[in-house]
Amino acid sequence: MIPLIFTGGTISMRLDDITGGAVPSLSGKEILAATRGIEDVAEVEVEEWGRFPGPHMTIDRMWALRNRVAEYLARSEVQGIVLTHGTDTLEESAYLNARSLQSDKPIVFTGAMRNASDLGWDGPANLLDAVRVASNPVSRGYGVLVVMSGRVYAGIDVTKAHTHLLDAFESPGLGPVGVIDDGAVIFRRALPEPQPLLEPDSLVTPVDIVNAYAGADGRLLEAARPESRGVVLSALGRGNIPPEMVPAVEHWIADGKPLVITSRAGRGRVGLTYGYRGGGRRLHDGGAILAGSRRPQQARIDLILALGAGLNVSAIREMFESYRATES
């Protein structure tokens, strides 16, 4: 049996005559009724969890959804789980589940890039493919997956890379783990050994992301410092920032709060290449934490989970260093 947890997103939307834009309108059962052939693939159970657009999915909602997934995983008759989700934040929910849940049963996220009023609404096809993946024995052991546009991605490395095309999702530098071809689920690569899970009883927030850019200074870092429990700095290139941001970084470190360096680049790792003021090596040696190839939104999830689990700055540094040591 495959539970279908409907949370909203474009897959649940149609055009609204008043606003002129797409808004949540369809129930899970209505989406299911438009999806021909699911009954031939698996027995399903529908849960109407919500009708949230992707930007309305807060960290607290994602955590509640993760806990609901854990309840389904504990049921012996459940083979796998499918969740519909708004694509704008789908990768964050998938990553949160991947970093905090362990099961051989596949947890499959899907959604749509076109709404039900559009020609070529992709929601039903994506939902059918997701059920195929969740119910297929070959998917066991792959953990959290994202199924979109006939491709299967690992929740640990997928991102939304295009604003509106049907094939909007990618795993930069890696590609999909598999495809759905004429109804068959075909996996083409294995996943690396997973990192130790982070399984807090609750989350610690707020944790912010601050972007570096040409000529940036420390105002945004300083504005976040009084309230935030930690911060992710989306730096330039290899993990470098303008020198005007450095004093604010030093203030964060002096406060004993974790400051994690990522890159705004879509591919590659931050590293110890540059030793000038604001360079990644200098930041690291001064107490900043380098996040390897984790993208900013992934590093933020890791930091929220780590703080919730009670890890101090030293342990958080060790956690991110372990990522860098095992990445290719």
Which residues have CB under 8 Å from 267's CB, separation 6+? 172, 173
CA dihedral 167, 184, 132, 116 (to 10 degrees): 40
Amino acid at 3: P
Maximum C-alpha span of the chain: 61
CB distance 249 to 286 below 8 Å: yes
For 56, other C-beta atoms within 10 Å of its C-beta total 16
Candidates 220, 202, 203, 230; CA nearest to 300 is: 230
CB distance 28 to 116 below 8 Å: no
Joined together, the tokens standing for residue 236 give 């330039």
Amino acid at 57: M
CB distance 133 to 152 below 8 Å: yes
Which residue in this structure is represented by tokens 């290139």?
237
Candidates 154, 193, 148, 195; CA nearest to 175 is: 154
For 134, other C-beta atoms within 10 Å of its C-beta total 28
The three-state secondary structure class of 135 is: helix
From the candidates 7, 10, 89, 110, which is the catalytic residue? 10
Residue 10 falls in the annotated catalytic set:
yes
Annotate 245-289 with three-state secondary structure: HHHHHHHHHHCCCCEEEEECCCCCCCCCCCCCCCCHHHHHHCCCE
Residues identified as active-site: 10
